[in-house]
Structures are given as C-alpha cells and as structure tokens.
Amino acid sequence: MFSLSGGKKIKAYVVLEDGSHFEGEGFGYPACAPCEVVFNTGMVGYPESLTDPSYSGQLLIQTYPLIGSYGVPPMREKDEYGLLRHFESDRVQVAGFGVAEMQKSPSHWQSETDLAGWLFRQKVPAIEGIDTREITKTLRSKGTMWGMIGVGDDLDLELLKLAAMEAEERVSADLVKGVSVTSPIEYDAHSKRTIAVIDCGVKFSIIRDLLSRGLNVLRVPYDSSAGAILRSEPDGILISNGPGDPARCARTISAAAELLETGIPMMGICLGAQIIALAAGAATYKLPYGHRGQNQPCLDLSTGRCYITSQNHGYAVDSRSLQGTGFKASFVNVNDGTVEGLRHEAKPIFGVQFHPEASPGPCETSFLFDEFTTEVENCRR
C-alpha cells in the first residue's frame, strides 16, 4: 500500500466558505486547492466518478462510509475503440476527494494500486477521517458551497479559511475549456453514419455507446462553430456532459442555436441538455445541492414509467421557461419535480439531465441511445 510520507499521518482540512472546517488525515497528494464542495451518494464507482470531467473544479465528498475497497484498475487497458476501459477520461478530474474511511488494503482481481497511491500519482489531494455525514447535512441545509481542501504538514487553518472565501474567484470560470479537446478526434466504427460530439467534457462511455451502435464519432472542441461542424456533414449531433454553469458556455450555446434550425437529429446529455434548452431560449438555474449519485428516480412523462438513473449535475432547466421554445419536458425527477429531460415537439431533438451511459450506475435508460440511432437512420432515408 502506498502511503503519503512513508506512513506518517499527514494533517488535512476541508474548509467551507462560511468558515466551518473539518479536520482529518491526508492521503493522495500534499497540496491545497480551491473547489466547489459537493457530495455523491454512490456506494461504488469511484474510479469512474473521479475521472468524470463533470467534476472538474470540485471537491467530491463520498457519503458512503468506506471507499477504496476494490482498489484501482490499470489505466493502460483499452477497449476495441482505443478508449480506456475502466475510466471516463485519461486523468483524475476532481480538485480533491473526501471520504470517511479509505480502505488501505483493497482486494480485487483487477486492482493494480490502492486509492491513495493513484491519487498521489495524479497529484490530487484527498482527506479521510472527516464526518462526511455532517458535511452532507451542511450542504443540504445551506446549499452547495465553495471551499478549500488542504493536505500537508505546514497548513495554516486561518489562511485556508481566508482562501475558502475567495475560492469561487480562484476556480476557473471556463471549466469546460479545460476538459474539452483542442482539435477534432475521429473514432471509426466502420460505418456510413457519423455523429459529431461537441465535447464539453465528454465521458468515454458516451463515445463507446455511440460506437457500439455502429456510429462513427467525430469529437470536436466545445467552441466549434456551427459552420465548422456542418462542414463535416454529420448525420447526428450530440452535446456532451461537462462541468460548471451552462450559461457560461456562450460559444456552444450560439452554435447549438444554429444547429437546432437544421433539422439534424440532436441529443444532449446533462450539460448538453441544458445547452440545448438555453439555445432554444429557455433558462437554467442552480440547484441547492445538485443531483449526484446512482439512484435518482426519473419519471418518463410519455409512458408513466419510472427509471433509476445515474446523475451528476448542479443545474437544471426551468420548466416554465420552456413555453414557446418548441420543447416540452419529457422526464421529471420524482424526488423534487425538476426537469430531467426535454424533447422538441416537431424535430428529432431531445436531451436528458441524467446519464443513460451510466458508468457508474444503472443502465436502465441506455435505450435512449437506440432512439437517437433510429432518428439518425430515419433522417438518412
């Protein structure tokens, strides 16, 4: 088991912008980082969550008490499409990680390293031994908060508190730019049909789900113009998940507004669904503490069927603002009634707030990729 400083206990803090703090033991990389503090209720799937670009700029607190039991699989294994098999991107994306207890002796046949060693090599600070339940209760009562994580021998708690008050300004406003590709990447499924994926922080599982359905993928930067995307003559367009406030994605929203007028089949996932809504003239707002976990119930308004979904978002579409946009809500969250999906009333365009590709989580809604594929095929006839 890899240990920070040869097994010596290292002090660590999580400090919230309201001045409250939580002391624990550090693992991972000794560093301080400003962050948005959020919690995830998932019991498993930490390798996927930690590499999900949607968590960029955030300190991820796991509510499940013991994390790391099955270690970390190798980051060199790839699938038939050249994508990392066990992860959602090629690096850990979170600003920091917090758990009640980190398993120091993991056991799994695929495990290559423990959580502490992996996070150290990825230069990500982490903390254990904190009261994750109390942090979660604080966030649920006061809302998502900004803060700092600090891991190291020479931490100054008062300086961390001052830094936590300025964390929002220190975290990049253009988080999407930091997780998007800078030039197009092609993935070949040996098909005649190609999907342009606007990369706002796309998870590998989304690309894999498209390829497995016989669709080539052209992954383009988040700030690609509509003209540049259309010159590639895509048969469909998918706007991906990603981090931060969707309203900050001005170039993506502008391109999406033009693309909505073409009649090309479009699908949005998480941030992508919000961008479609904004491009159509609707509005978004920040949720009090977001939806992050693998057991969010969503109701399909067309069938009355409820699905258990994997989610990771802090913003939602204002249902009232959809009036006059041509879109209507297609899914709602059973817990709080928020919009979880939208669909155009006449065009082959839809978006969902949850993750049909799951990873981690249930795959009950993977049929949405089949529906998108059908729309693409129908438009080609």
Among the options 17, 291, 355, 375, which is catalytic? 355
Identity at 148, one-letter amino acid code: M
Q: Where do the H-state alpha helices sit in the chain?
A: 46-50, 115-121, 132-142, 157-165, 167-170, 175-179, 204-211, 226-231, 250-260, 271-279, 367-380
Active site residue 270: yes
Q: How many C-beta atoms lie closer than 10 Å to residue 213's C-beta?
A: 19
H/E element, 140? helix 132-142
Tokens linked to 27: 């693992």
The region, left, alpha or beta by phi > 0 then psi within -120 to 50, assigned to residue 82 is left
For residues 293 and 42, give the distance between their C-alpha atoms in angstroms, rounded to a whole number.
Answer: 5
Identity at 40, one-letter amino acid code: N
H/E element, 96? strand 96-98
Active site residue 86: no
Active site residue 200: no
Among the options 35, 249, 270, 298, which is catalytic? 270
What phi and psi, each to the nearest 5 degrees, are found at residue 374?
-65, -40
Instruction: Name the DSSP class of 69.
Output: T
For residue 348, give Cα distances in angstroms to 104, 265, 326, 371. Answer: 49, 5, 12, 10
For residues 130 and 67, give the distance between their C-alpha atoms in angstroms, rounded to a whole number.
Answer: 13
Among the options 17, 48, 128, 357, which is catalytic? 357
Per-residue burial over 283-299, b if 16 or more Cβ lie within 10 Å, else e, is ebeebebbbbbbebebb
What phi and psi, each to the nearest 5 degrees, are found at residue 257?
-60, -40
Active site residue ranges: 270, 355, 357
